[in-house]
């Protein structure tokens, strides 16, 4: 069924819950996982004096490496093989492109992440992935307390 499962993460509680679900699924069916973090493109083509207002991309990449490794640590606890990837761009597009270009059979992701405060229903990134992906997308919802 699924041999390679993509687990996008942003380090949120929602993404952690989805990561655990994705790893458990991979464990049960003998699949591999890839933990993916996308450094969100914030500004392009701006003058250098404005660039001071833009977040340091190296810090975001380091953060991405840290949280994708956290997913691999969860995978190791369940004897699931995996790898990490950090890309940059529009999160939903990078997730879909990564799946298309890397033999991914399914995507497991949370319904809302760090930027989810104003998002309704699935959340902006998840909704766009669901609508655009060429593979099944399994969404994991965090219950409201």
Which residue pairs from 121-129 have beta carbons closer than 8 angstroms and sit at least 24 positions apart in sequence? Answer: 124/92, 125/8, 125/91, 125/92, 125/95, 128/92, 128/93, 129/8, 129/92, 129/95, 129/96
pLDDT digits (tens, 9 = 90+) for 89-105: 999 999 999 999 999 99
**Looking at residue 41, what is its pLDDT?**
73
pLDDT tier for residue 49 given thresholds of 50, 70 and 90: very low
pLDDT digits (tens, 9 = 90+) for 109-137: 998 755 544 444 346 899 999 999 999 99
């Amino acid at each position: 069924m699924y041999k390679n499962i993509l687990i996008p993460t942003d380090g949120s509680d929602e993404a952690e819950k989805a990561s655990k679900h994705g790893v458990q699924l991979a464990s049960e069916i003998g699949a591999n996982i890839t933990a993916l973090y996308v450094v969100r493109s914030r500004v392009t083509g701006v003058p250098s004096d404005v660039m001071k207002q833009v977040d340091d991309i190296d810090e975001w990449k380091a953060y991405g490496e840290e949280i994708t490794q956290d997913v691999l640590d969860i995978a190791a606890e369940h004897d699931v093989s995996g790898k990490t990837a950090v890309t940059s761009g529009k999160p939903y597009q990078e997730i879909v492109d990564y799946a298309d270009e890397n033999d991914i059979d399914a995507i497991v992701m949370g319904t809302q992440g760090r930027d989810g405060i104003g998002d309704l229903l699935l959340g902006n990134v998840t909704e766009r992935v669901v609508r655009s992906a060429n593979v099944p997308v399994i969404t994991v919802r965090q219950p409201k307390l």
